[in-house]
Amino acid sequence: MPPTSPRPLIGRRAEIDRLLALVHAAGRGEGGVLVLRGEPGIGKSALLDHVERATAEEFQLIRASGSEFEGELPFAALHQLCVPALAHLDTLSAPYRESLLVAFGLADGAPDPFRVGLAALELLATAAGTRPMLCVVDDAHWLDTASARALVFLARRIAAEPIAMVFAARDQDPVRGLDDLPGLTVGGLSDTHARALLAGEKTVTLDERVRDRLLAEARGNPLALIELPKAGGFAPPAPSPIASRIERSFRTRMAELPVDARRLLTLASADPTGDPSLLWAAARRLDIDVPAASAAAEASGLIRFDTRARFCHPLARSAAYRAAEPEQRHTAHRALAEVTDPGTAGDRRAWHRAQATSGPDEQVAAELELSASRAQARGFVVIQPTHLDSRTLGE
């Protein structure tokens, strides 16, 4: 069953106009950047999706996403962003080409952050030479430090390139450098727009008192307005953060899915890359019926599988991961480690192996120590125990 069509955005005309103005200027060769800020569920990701769809015919899209699981992997997000442009790598000068290979762990050495930034700029500018480019970075509050520095460096130097960059980040989790870029705070919907959004939800029927309470407590948060009624009303009398309530709603929806669909969601939540080929390979190792499981998962509206596996919202991914039992998470990470190439993604493989381990394991400890050494060699600060051995892993 195909995924449902995107829902129209209500009450976001000003934000959409600002984004489209940025992108259209880039189409004329006047590059620029905008950082969307706001609380979880406020609609930042929906705005990114909207501008992607609105410019799909004219612009080439490259996308990256910060991940709470990849914060210790240097240049992980920058690598995500650059992968679609790596076909142009051979056009770069040898020093720039070597800088990116070192930064991405594909060559030995210690990268110069300034040269890495210039190399990434030249790579993307070359790729944008035939067609304007839209660079989207979601969940920027979870960017690894090295990527955050490189991406801010990029954003400051695209004014003469046909490149638009849009970041989305939670306002309560500032990222060094992003605050100095042009920004737009995404606030809650007005009461009128919130009522219109709620009225458009045909999946539940609410009496007037429940609807008024929902409107009051959601405070114009679109995801809260959409998800909380699906969980059977809202919440215990004691107040709790909106994000926690939304996550509980996602978990309720997941509980209704077939077993294989839930296992597939756990796998997808454990993989920060969103690479479908990696996901399908891991799923087959776990004897998951991939066609049936992926169809059920997509039909739920929780995830979409195309060039990447993308959850409908970061809170859905968190919910899928936390809903799984510890042994289920270990199994998912173990399968992902087994299908991850140790030559091109050794650090990520070591991380998956560590996440799959519940007790002392000398081999995993040794791999983590090697990964930390590689990260330090690439200029990343690693905080680690003095003795990284099986006793540390067992704590």
The model's pLDDT over 152-206, given as tens digits with 9 standing for 90+, comes to 999 999 999 999 999 999 887 677 788 889 999 999 999 999 989 888 876 555 6
Tens of pLDDT, residue by residue over 223-259, are 888 877 765 444 433 344 667 777 888 888 899 999 9
- For residue 148, the one-letter residue type is A
308's tokens: 């990447």
How far apart, in whole angstroms, are the C-alpha atoms of residue 63 and residue 124? 12
Dihedral over alpha carbons 354, 246, 223, 33 (to 10 degrees): -30
Instruction: Please give the model's pTM, rounded to 2 decimal places.
Output: 0.69
DSSP symbol at 309: E
Q: How far is CA 381 from CA 73, 273, 335, 368, in A?
A: 10, 22, 29, 14
Range with the poorest average pLDDT among 44-48, 267-271, 384-388: 384-388
Residue-level pLDDT at 386: 32
How far apart, in whole angstroms, are the C-alpha atoms of residue 355 and residue 95? 36
Q: Model confidence at 285, in pLDDT bands (50, 70, 90)?
A: very high
Range with the poorest average pLDDT among 84-93, 279-288, 376-385: 376-385
Structure-token match 């060559």, residue found:
107
User: Average pLDDT over the chain, rounded to whole?
Assistant: 84
Q: What are phi and psi of 184, to 5 degrees?
A: -140, 120
147's tokens: 């990527």
Q: Model confidence at 110, in pLDDT bands (50, 70, 90)?
A: confident
Selected residue with higher pLDDT from 345 and 30:
30
Give the closest residue to 289 by CA, choosing from 329, 310, 260, 267: 260
User: For the residues of 217-253, what is the DSSP string, one character each?
Assistant: HHTT-HHHHHHGGGGTS---SS---HHHHHHHHHHHH
Give the closest residue to 112 by CA, choosing from 75, 167, 76: 75
Selected residue with higher pLDDT from 212 and 392:
212
Give the closest residue to 187 by CA, choosing from 12, 7, 353, 333: 12
Angle at 192 between CA 191 and CA 193, to 5 degrees: 95
DSSP symbol at 34: E
